[in-house]
Amino acid sequence: MTPRLVADTGTTNDDPLARRFAFALSMAREAGRLAMRYFRSRDLSISQKGLRDLVTAADHAVDALIRTKIAENFPEDGILTEETAGAISGTTWVIDPIDGTGNFARGIACFAISIAVCVDGVTQIGVVFDPAADEMFAARRGRGAFCNGTPLGVSKTTQLAEATVDAGYSRKAPLPDYVALLARLLDAGCDFVQFGSAARGLAHVAAGRVDGFIEAHLFAWDVLAGLLLVQEASGFSTDFLLTGNWESGQPVLACTPGLSAALTEIA
């Protein structure tokens, strides 16, 4: 029997969010299959949006697939993705078709499809699917976070000297600031990694595999789904405000609550 991906969330007939949640899970898996076909064939047609900011044919194909399916099933909803500008409405889908394109383009199997659904500026649904590992991370606000049917919980770590943090780097932030951040982490005895996918890194925090995630500049499509996973796994995160310009970048910190004070000071 196929395991439930999440706890019972109500019938899809009488709950608009339940319908969208079921659709997001199905869509993430379909998008993952498409992404993996490109990943395995290495037919990527890589181009650059900016300095070291890669985009592949797979990004565009997965983006088009998701946008088309959402428009067909929920025509009243807004859609905002990394690859194409979108319209914002009361209910808006915020999507990164392939988060971790740099890894994807180099044949490194650390990337994810990230799908969030926001209602009046609050994230209600978060789905992060890693097709290479066949891991479906999913959360609904107030209903918990799960990976392939198993409930998620952040780590119990309380000391930086025992912690591992995903310290993401953005070229939109000054390099000296990033180097200084790494120095502060190391001085505190903290190990760091860099997965190259914010969605995947946040999912790792929610699963208790790493203790925190820090990056100085990320966009809504990078993090909204992953931040909900962390929150629903009883983790701490800074607010990623959706007021004003939805496409503006912001710093992100998410971690186990026992490290929130120390990492907030370090970040």
Binding-site members are 82, 96, 98-99, 222
Query: What's the CA gap between 159 and 185, in Å, rounded?
Result: 12
Single-letter amino acid, residue 264: T
77 close to 92: Cβ distance less than 8 angstroms: yes
Structure tokens at 33: 């299959």
β-strand partners of 135: 130
Residue set of the binding site for Mg(2+): 82, 96, 98-99, 222
DSSP structure string for 130-170: ETTTTEEEEEETTS-EEETTEEP-------GGG-EEEE---
Q: Indicate the DSSP class of residue 257.
A: G
Give the HSE-up count for residue 148: Cα atoms under 13 Å, Cβ half-sphere.
8
Angle at 61 between CA 45 and CA 49, to 5 degrees: 55
84 close to 65: Cβ distance less than 8 angstroms: no
Helix and strand totals (H; E) in the chain: 7, 14
